[in-house]
Amino acid sequence: MEFSPIIAALIAFLVCAASGKVVIPYLHKLKFGQTILDIGPKWHANKQGTPTMGGVMIIFGVIIGVILSILASFMYGGEFFISLKVTGQLTKFVAGIVLALGMGAIGFIDDYIKVVKKRNLGLTAKQKTFLQFLVAAGFLLALWLSGYNTTWIPFVGYVPVNEGIGLIFWPISLFFIYGFTNAVNLTDGIDGLASTVTLVVCCGFMLCAGYLQNIGYNTLACAVAGGCAGFVVWNAHPAKVFMGDTGSMFLGGAVVALSYGINCPIILLLIGIVYLCEAFSVILQVAYFKKTQKRLFKMSPIHHHFELSGWSEGKIVTVFSLVTLIASTLAVFLIVLFN
């Protein structure tokens, strides 16, 4: 039996949860507090000054969990270490981690500018977009070099992506990665929402990767799930720390990497249904307002609409997580029944 995924999850959870004892007071000391946007719900003003950039806790937990699981697999001749020797697998695995770290680095820069300037601006939209496309392009190049030549589509099967019409996969992927990374970022708007939803998402990918015997990405999914669980300890309402763009963009990069890691990025449209709804609620709100000068939702992203409708933050997190659980279960069934 391969214990690497279990080791990764446990270590990531423990490191992330324990690091809060050190990181949160340090962020307080540096006065890295969140500046609350005036356009948000008025009661969010009470969160002013809560430390942000707590996403570094998740990143530390995930990376340490993955490294220690690889070392354990190496010492005991486990399948994880052996699988990385297969042609292209190491490149594909490392590319996924670098994608998450690259997006997290962009988020860190954005957060750093915000807390130093003491205003919610950070990187300009053009700067952030350019950097995200650059990281996404690097990831796709690594996939191509690793021999990534097919993608699996439910009810269709494996489709070649390196010839004919299949070549459209690559430019679409560039926007797909960019879009979903930012969708996860939009989901981080209330205490515990992004971390809890992503925990469920990663459990779904863990089961998919496990069924497909993809030990590398099964381990990564477990590590990210463990990191999210450890962060919820500090981020559940009332939050003691926010993950900031550092964490949300890292998680965005991670879930995208997991979808490509199991060779089925399109499945993220189902597993990540909450991310999708968050992003489209913003798009629809803007489009509807431009056309009618009226609001379609009370506020976007959509979790704020439910807040203004009287839902508590805890209820929103619970319902959104249950929706993710149902969608993830359906996704796992699709993989098991039709792959």
pLDDT at position 29 is: 84
Buried b (16+ CB within 10 A) or exposed e, 154-163: eeeeeeebee
Neighbouring C-beta atoms of residue 202, cutoff 10 Å? 28
pLDDT at position 168 is: 97
pLDDT at position 34 is: 60
- What is the sign of the dihedral through the CA atoms of 9, 70, 56 and 213? negative
SS (H, E, C) 225-294: HHHHHHHHHHHCCCCCCCCHHHHHHHHHHHHHHHHHHCCCHHHHHHHCHHHHHHHHHHHHHHHHHHHHCC
Going by pLDDT thresholds of 50, 70 and 90, the confidence category of residue 61 is very high
Q: How far apart are the C-alpha atoms of 158 and 188, rounded to whole Å? A: 34
Q: Which helix (H) or strand (E) holds 102?
A: helix 89-117
Q: How far apart are the C-alpha atoms of 105 and 89, rounded to whole Å? A: 24
Q: Which residues are paired to 160 by β-bridges?
A: 150
Going by pLDDT thresholds of 50, 70 and 90, the confidence category of residue 41 is low
Q: Please give the model's pTM, rounded to 2 decimal places.
A: 0.94
* Nearest CA among 235, 193, 282 for reference residue 23: 235
Q: How far apart are the C-alpha atoms of 34 and 49, rounded to whole Å? A: 5
* pLDDT above 90 for 33: no
pLDDT in tens, 262-296: 999 999 999 999 999 999 999 999 999 999 999 99
Mean of per-residue pLDDT scores for the chain:
91
* Nearest CA among 210, 324, 189 for reference residue 268: 324
Going by pLDDT thresholds of 50, 70 and 90, the confidence category of residue 28 is confident
Assess contact for 338 and 215: CB atoms under 8 A: no
* pLDDT above 90 for 96: yes
Using CA atoms, how far residue 118 sits from 31, 33, 84, 249, in Å, is 10, 8, 44, 20
Sequence-ordered list of residues with C-beta below 8 angstroms from that of 176, at least 6 positions apart, any chain: 256, 265
* pLDDT above 70 for 165: yes
Least confident of 44-48, 76-80, 170-174, 305-309: 44-48
* pLDDT above 90 for 235: yes
Neighbouring C-beta atoms of residue 88, cutoff 10 Å? 14
pLDDT at position 135 is: 98
Percent share of the chain, pLDDT over 90: 78
pLDDT in tens, 106-160: 999 999 888 876 666 678 889 999 999 999 999 999 999 999 999 999 999 999 9
Beta strands, E only, 122-218: 150-153, 157-160
* pLDDT above 90 for 75: no
Q: What is the DSSP letter of 86?
A: S
Assess contact for 269 and 331: CB atoms under 8 A: no
pLDDT at position 121 is: 66
* pLDDT above 80 for 47: no
Going by pLDDT thresholds of 50, 70 and 90, the confidence category of residue 225 is very high
Q: Are strands 150-153 and 157-160 parallel, antiparallel or unpaired?
A: antiparallel
* pLDDT above 60 for 39: no
* pLDDT above 60 for 40: no
pLDDT at position 80 is: 77
